[in-house]
Structure 1
Amino acid sequence: MGVSRIDNVLMLLSTSTKFTDKQEDAVLPQIMSGFRDCCFAAGTQVRGGQTTRNPWVLLGGCATSVLPKNEFVLPNGAKAGDLLVLTKPLGTQIAVNLNQWLDDQDMDKLKATGMNEDEIRKGYDAATVSMMTLNREASSLMRKYKAHAATDVTGFGILGHAQNLVKCQEDELDFVIDKLPILEKIASADDGMGRMFQLVKGYSAETSGGLLLAIDPIEAAKYITDLKAANGHDIWIIGKVTAGSRKAKIVHEVQIIDVTLNENEKLVSN
């Protein structure tokens, strides 16, 4: 919604019941320090929170902001002729899972992917850079270039979020997706696993995913230029908005764009 100012963050941290006191003393301050540094990068501070115990280490937070109505973008103003822009590549969940399976030496699961160890590690590194990239600049530029609608891409996958977004538009529209920027080799890995994650179908969850915007074509070009100048990563036009019946779809012959991490640790089309 174009909100780039965060007034307050509460940190939610769960330490592992498996940690010894010594491990807790070593690990938790580092986790809290990293979280605090990320909040500083986002222009805010941690002002409280809660710590619990759990079998696994968990880290999250709650961010709040209070601002006038004219300082955020309502998500319902897409127009026929708008372009659909995606600010981060897809495939993070699969890349993280493959890396975890490699750490666990679960070779039965990995065999079907057709990926070797080096490819899996590179995919994980690219996913990590994507997840670490804040949506702050992408959100701020939405206001500058008057995006008509937007959503983040997280748990429902690219198509799931596109479907949710198109349903709330004032006009009767369709969102037509004809390109999918995906971390290199991750789409073929999912194919090899019988499309377990439904990545190309658009339903694979993303962690810290990018923004999906509906924006005027002229403004889209300016938005992409400015966002790439700000963070160095590629941004993609992945489809268009047409008159329709409030449906989102991925075309049958969708183009897969391979995305890799270059020598400068920037996400770029291969």
Structure 2
Amino acid sequence: MLPADGGGPLIDAGLDSAVITLPRHGLFLLQTTDFFYPLIDDPYIMGGIACANVLSDLYAMGVSQIDSVLMIIAPSSKFSDKERDVILPLLAKGFENCAKRAGTRVTGGHTGINPWCIIGGVATSVCTQDEFVMPNEAKPGDVLVLTKPLGTQVAVVCHSWLNDDNRWPKLEPVITIDAMQGAYNQAVDFMSRLNKTGAELMLQYQAHGATDVTGFGILGHAQNLAKYQKNEVSFVIDTLPVIAGIAAIGTVMTGSLNIRTGRVPETSGGLFICLDETRAHEFIREFSAKEGYEPWIIGTVCQGQRTAQIKSDATILEIA
């Protein structure tokens, strides 16, 4: 976190989006970039997930109006001509249509060749100070709200093992094929959802800070957000909402597939938001009315040393 000095940055790249004070008109430039490798087989849906993931970093700042999106796309150097000609237009179309759903458009970007296929982009918004939420205002007594369940990457990875005679038998004691397919479908649905409603309500209900839960897992992102707080606070997570069936996988597959560690990566995950408790309940009611499901209060903000932890007896909520 860096102080505003009239023309210098207000927030550096340590959080979700850079926030830079512009030297004119009292405006701020909010900008983020992200890209990653495809997770699922459908290139059109994958393009949409990639765009939702890029936009999420601005949504985590309470920004709901995005001015411009650039697309970064690269086919694998191992693609045949036919594979390239089929896959790239679908990736691009999925990305572009997601941008349209967000109320913005793709204005440019870059293409190239890469050993692995990649899809991502850059999102930009120019805002006045009352059009975004500073991420460093958490106070003791706030509650922590999460807007999407955990378990997206575990669901995607383990779904790919259904036809793997070496890996799938390890999961059979804890999850059925039908439950695995259901978890995968739910993961794809949540990854495809925009965090725009959460961003709008963050601003409306005066959130004290937020981040989106992606590649560092819920604990990694909570710790990063905590260390930037102005007040001496810590985040205590006591509840983990998880896509149904996914938490059990951690009992037979440790490490990167064990949700309880808080380190399992997510893709296009939900917003992790610090809110006054009364406003949090209002946020949840309005979010539910707009999105069709309720987000969850998953913990509290207390006096502390700018750390985050998951309680050892944290409750697992199975989200079906």
Task: Give the Cα separation in 1 of the matches to 2:86 and 2:294.
Answer: 37
Match of 1:166 in 2: 226
Match of 2:38 in 1: none
Q: SS of the counterpart of 1:252?
A: strand
Do residues 6 (structure 1) and 44 (structure 2) align? Answer: no
Q: Which amino acid is 2:135 matched to? A: P
Larger RCO of the pair (alpha carbons < 8 Å, separation 6+): 1
Return 5+ residue gaps in structure 1 as ranges.
Answer: 261-270
Match of 2:166 in 1: 108
Do residues 75 (structure 1) and 138 (structure 2) align? Answer: no
Moved more, 52-61 or 80-89: 52-61
Task: Give the Cα separation in 1 of the matches to 2:105 and 2:256.
Answer: 39
| Displacement of 1:141 | 0.8
* Equivalent residue in structure 1 for 2:313, among 246, 250, 253: 253
- 8 A Cα contact 2:210 2:271, kept in partner: yes
Q: SS of the counterpart of 2:144?
A: strand
Moved more, 27-36 or 120-129: 27-36
| Displacement of 1:204 | 0.6
Return 5+ residue gaps in structure 2 as ranges.
Answer: 1-60
Task: Give the Cα separation in 2 of the matches to 1:165 and 1:55.
Answer: 33
* Equivalent residue in structure 2 for 1:136, among 185, 190, 196: 196
**CA offsets per residue over residues 144-184 of structure 1, 9 Å max, x none?**
00001111111111111111111111111121111000011
| Displacement of 1:108 | 2.3
Task: Give the Cα separation in 1 of the matches to 2:211 and 2:86.
Answer: 38
Match of 1:266 in 2: none
- 8 A Cα contact 2:249 2:257, kept in partner: no
Moved more, 196-205 or 156-165: 196-205
Task: Give the Cα separation in 2 of the matches to 1:107 and 1:161.
Answer: 35
Q: SS of the counterpart of 1:176?
A: strand
Match of 1:18 in 2: 78
Q: Which amino acid is 1:111 matched to? A: P
**CA offsets per residue over residues 161-214 of structure 1, 9 Å max, x none?**
111111111111121111000011111112211344342021111100111011
- 8 A Cα contact 1:9 1:44, kept in partner: yes
Q: Which amino acid is 2:158 matched to? A: L
Task: Give the Cα separation in 2 of the matches to 1:211 and 1:133.
Answer: 12
Say how many residue pairs are matched.
258
Task: Note closer, same or farther for the CA distance 1:25–1:195 as it changes in structure 2 (3 Å cut).
Answer: closer
Do residues 27 (structure 1) and 87 (structure 2) align? Answer: yes
* Equivalent residue in structure 2 for 1:86, among 120, 123, 146: 146
| 1:127-206 equivalences in 2 (<5 Å) | 127-206=187-266
Root-mean-square deviation (CA), in Å? 1.4
Match of 2:114 in 1: 54
Q: SS of the counterpart of 2:63?
A: coil
Q: SS of the counterpart of 2:139?
A: coil
- 8 A Cα contact 1:84 1:239, kept in partner: yes
Match of 1:237 in 2: 297
- 8 A Cα contact 1:183 1:258, kept in partner: yes
**CA offsets per residue over residues 105-129 of structure 1, 9 Å max, x none?**
2232222223222221111101001
Task: Note closer, same or farther for the CA distance 1:26–1:156 as it changes in structure 2 (3 Å cut).
Answer: closer
Match of 1:227 in 2: 287
In the superposition, the TM-score normalised over structure 2's length comes to 0.77
- 8 A Cα contact 2:249 2:258, kept in partner: no
- 8 A Cα contact 1:147 1:215, kept in partner: yes
| Displacement of 1:56 | 3.5
- 8 A Cα contact 1:112 1:189, kept in partner: no
Match of 2:17 in 1: none
| Displacement of 1:98 | 0.7
In the superposition, the TM-score normalised over structure 1's length comes to 0.91
| Displacement of 1:244 | 1.9
Q: Which amino acid is 2:122 matched to? A: C
Q: SS of the counterpart of 1:66?
A: strand
| Displacement of 1:233 | 2.5
| Displacement of 1:81 | 0.8
